C-alpha cells in the first residue's frame, strides 16, 4: 500500500506516514496509520525512529479529531498475543460509536 502496488482508500499521506481505511473495519471509522519505512512494531519504531512515531501519532490524532469529534481510540497491537497479524507497525484509529472497556 505504501508503494502503491496495492490499492488503498487513502485518508492522509505525508513523506513518512500513510493513513488509509481498513478493508475490514471494526468500527464506523477504522483508519490504519503506518510509517512508509518498515518497522516490525511500535516498540521498534519508537527505538529506531522516534520522530516518525511522533508524526504517525500526529496524523492519527488529526484523523481522529476530524472523523470522530466525540471521541476516538488509538490502538497498537505489539506481538502475536496482542493480536498483531501484520508485521509492519500500524496504528488503528477507531471511532464513530461508543467504545467499551476492556476492549477484549
Query: pLDDT band for position 26 (50/70/90)?
Result: very high
Specify the DSSP element, H or E, that contains 26. Answer: none
- Model's pTM, two decimal places? 0.90
Q: What are the residue numbers of the active site?
A: 90
Return the C-alpha cell found at 104: 477484549
Mean pLDDT over each residue of the chain, to the nearest integer: 93
Q: In what order do the strands lie in the sheet with 29-35?
A: 10-13, 17-21, 29-35, 91-95, 72-76
Return the C-alpha cell found at 53: 512515531
The structural domains of the chain, ordered by start, are 10-95 (3.30.428.10)
Instruction: Return the closest-CA partner of residue 8 out of 27, 30, 23.
Output: 23
**Residue bearing the bigger pLDDT, 7 or 89:** 89
3-class secondary structure, 34: strand
Q: What is the pLDDT of residue 7?
A: 77
Amino acid at each position: 500500500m505504501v508503494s502503491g502496488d496495492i490499492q488503498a482508500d487513502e485518508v492522509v499521506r505525508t513523506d513518512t506516514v500513510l493513513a488509509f481505511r481498513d478493508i475490514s473495519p471494526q468500527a464506523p471509522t477504522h483508519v490504519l496509520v503506518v510509517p512508509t519505512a518498515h518497522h516490525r512494531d511500535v516498540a521498534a519504531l519508537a527505538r529506531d525512529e522516534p520522530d516518525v512515531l511522533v508524526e504517525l501519532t500526529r496524523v492519527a490524532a488529526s484523523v481522529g479529531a476530524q472523523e470522530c469529534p466525540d471521541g476516538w481510540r488509538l490502538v497498537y497491537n505489539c506481538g502475536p498475543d496482542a493480536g498483531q497479524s501484520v508485521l509492519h507497525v500500524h496504528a488503528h484509529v477507531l471511532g464513530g460509536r461508543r467504545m467499551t472497556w476492556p476492549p477484549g
